[in-house]
Structure 1
Amino acid sequence: MQVAFTFLVFPCLLASYIGQAAYLTKFPEHVDQTFYKSIPSAIYWPIFVVATISAVIASQATISATFSIIKQAQALGCFPRVKIVHTSSKIFGQIYIPEINWILMVLCVVITAGFQKTTQIGNAYGLAVIAVMLVTTVLMILIMLLVWTSNIILIVTFASTFLLVELVYLSSVLFKVDQGGWAPLVIAAIFLIVMYVWHYGTVKRYEFEMQSKVSMGWILGLGPSLGLVRVPGIGFIYTELAHGVPPIFSHFVTHLPALHSVVLFVCIKYLPVNRVPTEERFLIRRIGPKEFFLYRCVVRYGYKDLHKKDENFEQNLVKNLVEYVHTQSSPEPASESTDADYNKVASYSHNIHSQSDPACSTFSASYRGDNDDEVDVQLTETFTSESILSERSTKVPQIKQVLCASHDDEGSEDESEFLARANEDGIVHIMGDVLLRCKSESNLLKRIAVNHIYAFLRRICRENSATLNIPHESLFSIGQVYLV
Structure 2
Amino acid sequence: MDPALRSETISNEFKENREKETWRRTILLSFQSLGIVYGRLSTAPLYVFGSILPDDLKSDKEIHELYSFIFWTLTLISLLKYAFIVLSADDDGEGGTFPLYSLLCRHAKMGLLPNDRSASEIIQHDRGSPRIKVPSTTRKCIEKYKTGHYFLLFLALFGCCMIISDGVLTPSVSVLSATSTFGRSMIKLSHRLISSQKIREHLDEVLTRLPVPMACAILVCLFTLQHYGTQKISFVFAPIVIIWLTFISGIGLYNIAQNHEILYAISPTYMLRFLKKVDIISWKALGSIILCTAGSEVMFANLGHFSKRSLKVTFVCLIYPALIVCYAGQAAFISRYLGTKDANVNLSESIPNKNLHHAFAVLSVFASAVGSQATITASFSIVNQCQALGCFPRVKVVHTSDKIRGQVYVPDVNWLFMTLSIGITVGFRDIAPIGKATGLAIISGMLVTTCLMSLVIALSWEKSVFIAACFMLFFGSLEATYLSSCLLNFPRGAWFITVLLLLFLTTMVSWYYGTVKKYQFDVENKVSVEWLTDLSPGLGISRVPGIGFIYTDISSGIPAFFSHFITNLPAFHQVLIFVSFKSLPVPYISEDQRYLIGRVGPKEYKIYRCVVLHGYRDHTRDSDDFEDHIISSIGEFIAREERDYESLSSPERMMVLGRSMGDGNALIPLTADSSDNSHPTLTQRSHSDDPAELSFAAIRRKRVRFMLPKNSPEMSVSVRKELQELVDARESGTAYFLGQSHLSLRRGSNLLKKLLIMVYVFLDKNAREPPVALNIPHAALLEVGTVYTI
Q: Same fold judged by TM-score > 0.5?
A: yes
Deviation per CA, 1:291-336: give whole Å up to 9, x if none: 222222234568566543x534434544544554455369999x96
Deviation per CA, 1:176-222: give whole Å up to 9, x if none: 22221111111012211111111111112112222322223323322
Q: For the Cα contact (< 8 Å) 1:26–1:118, is it kept in 2?
A: yes
Residue of structure 1 in register with 2:760 after alignment: 454
* Structure 1, unaligned runs of 5 or more: 345-410
Shift of 1:113: 0.1
Confirm whether residue 479 of structure 1 aligns to residue 629 of structure 2.
no
Confirm whether residue 6 of structure 1 aligns to residue 156 of structure 2.
yes
Q: C-alpha distance in 1, partners of 2:531/2:781?
A: 27
Deviation per CA, 1:33-66: give whole Å up to 9, x if none: 5333443245445544543343222111110011
One-letter code aligned to 1:463:
E
Residue of structure 2 in register with 1:389 after alignment: none
Residue of structure 2 in register with 1:75 after alignment: 388
One-letter code aligned to 1:87:
T
Shift of 1:107: 0.6
Q: C-alpha distance in 2, partners of 1:275/1:172?
A: 44
**Aligned to 1:92, what secondary structure does the other structure show?**
coil
Task: Tell me whether 297-306 or 439-448 shows the greater mean CA deviation.
Answer: 297-306
Residue of structure 2 in register with 1:337 after alignment: 651
* Structure 2, unaligned runs of 5 or more: 1-100, 103-152, 185-345, 659-717
Q: C-alpha distance in 2, partners of 1:143/1:282?
A: 30
Q: For the Cα contact (< 8 Å) 2:598–2:654, is it kept in 1?
A: no
Residue of structure 2 in register with 1:24 after alignment: 174
Alignment map for 1:38-437 (pairs within 5 Å):
38-39=350-351, 40-41=353-354, 43-44=356-357, 47-144=360-457, 150-151=463-464, 154-155=467-468, 157-223=470-536, 227-269=540-582, 277=591, 282-299=595-612, 306-308=620-622, 310-322=623-635, 324-328=637-641, 337=651, 339=653, 341=655, 414-437=721-744
Shift of 1:236: 0.9
**Aligned to 1:222, what secondary structure does the other structure show?**
coil
One-letter code aligned to 1:11:
C
Residue of structure 1 in register with 2:347 after alignment: 35
**Aligned to 1:284, what secondary structure does the other structure show?**
strand
Residue of structure 2 in register with 1:355 after alignment: none
TM-score, scaled to structure 2:
0.47
Q: C-alpha distance in 2, partners of 1:314/1:142?
A: 41
One-letter code aligned to 1:6:
A
Say which structure is richer in helix: 2
Residue of structure 2 in register with 1:15 after alignment: 165
Residue of structure 2 in register with 1:367 after alignment: none
Residue of structure 2 in register with 1:439 after alignment: 746
Q: For the Cα contact (< 8 Å) 1:90–1:274, is it kept in 2?
A: no
Structure 1 residues 274, 194: CA separation in 2 closer, same or farther (over 3 Å shift)?
Answer: closer
**Aligned to 1:79, what secondary structure does the other structure show?**
coil
Shift of 1:69: 1.1
Q: For the Cα contact (< 8 Å) 2:549–2:734, is it kept in 1?
A: yes
Q: C-alpha distance in 1, partners of 2:532/2:643?
A: 17
Q: C-alpha distance in 1, partners of 2:582/2:638?
A: 23
Shift of 1:448: 2.7
Q: For the Cα contact (< 8 Å) 2:593–2:657, is it kept in 1?
A: no
**Aligned to 2:739, what secondary structure does the other structure show?**
strand
Q: C-alpha distance in 1, partners of 2:377/2:464?
A: 36
Q: For the Cα contact (< 8 Å) 2:529–2:601, is it kept in 1?
A: yes
Structure 1 residues 165, 228: CA separation in 2 closer, same or farther (over 3 Å shift)?
Answer: same
Structure 1 residues 328, 190: CA separation in 2 closer, same or farther (over 3 Å shift)?
Answer: same
Structure 1 residues 423, 171: CA separation in 2 closer, same or farther (over 3 Å shift)?
Answer: closer
Q: C-alpha distance in 1, partners of 2:465/2:642?
A: 58
**Aligned to 1:445, what secondary structure does the other structure show?**
helix
Post-superposition, which runs of at least 4 consecutive aligned residues in structure 1 deviate over 6 A? 330-333
Q: C-alpha distance in 1, partners of 2:464/2:571?
A: 65
One-letter code aligned to 1:122:
G
Q: C-alpha distance in 1, partners of 2:613/2:476?
A: 44
Shift of 1:143: 4.2
Structure 1 residues 170, 315: CA separation in 2 closer, same or farther (over 3 Å shift)?
Answer: closer
Number of corresponding residues: 413
Q: For the Cα contact (< 8 Å) 1:288–1:331, is it kept in 2?
A: no
Q: C-alpha distance in 2, partners of 1:290/1:227?
A: 20
Q: C-alpha distance in 1, partners of 2:500/2:371?
A: 21
Shift of 1:458: 0.7
One-letter code aligned to 2:641:
Q
Q: For the Cα contact (< 8 Å) 2:156–2:448, is it kept in 1?
A: no
Q: C-alpha distance in 2, partners of 1:75/1:479?
A: 24
Structure 1 residues 29, 313: CA separation in 2 closer, same or farther (over 3 Å shift)?
Answer: closer
Q: C-alpha distance in 2, partners of 1:342/1:438?
A: 39
Residue of structure 1 in register with 2:243 after alignment: none
Q: C-alpha distance in 1, partners of 2:449/2:723?
A: 57
Say which structure is richer in strand: 1
Q: C-alpha distance in 1, partners of 2:469/2:772?
A: 51
Q: C-alpha distance in 2, partners of 1:154/1:304?
A: 34
One-letter code aligned to 2:348:
Y
Task: Tell me whether 11-20 or 142-151 shows the greater mean CA deviation.
Answer: 142-151
Structure 1 residues 146, 17: CA separation in 2 closer, same or farther (over 3 Å shift)?
Answer: same
Q: For the Cα contact (< 8 Å) 2:737–2:783, is it kept in 1?
A: yes
Shift of 1:479: 0.4
Shift of 1:224: 6.0
Q: C-alpha distance in 1, partners of 2:752/2:470?
A: 42
Shift of 1:434: 1.3
Deviation per CA, 1:340-379: give whole Å up to 9, x if none: 64699xxxxxxxxxxxxxxxxxxxxxxxxxxxxxxxxxxx
Q: C-alpha distance in 2, partners of 1:320/1:131?
A: 46
One-letter code aligned to 1:138:
C
Q: C-alpha distance in 1, partners of 2:628/2:556?
A: 24
Q: For the Cα contact (< 8 Å) 1:325–1:416, is it kept in 2?
A: yes
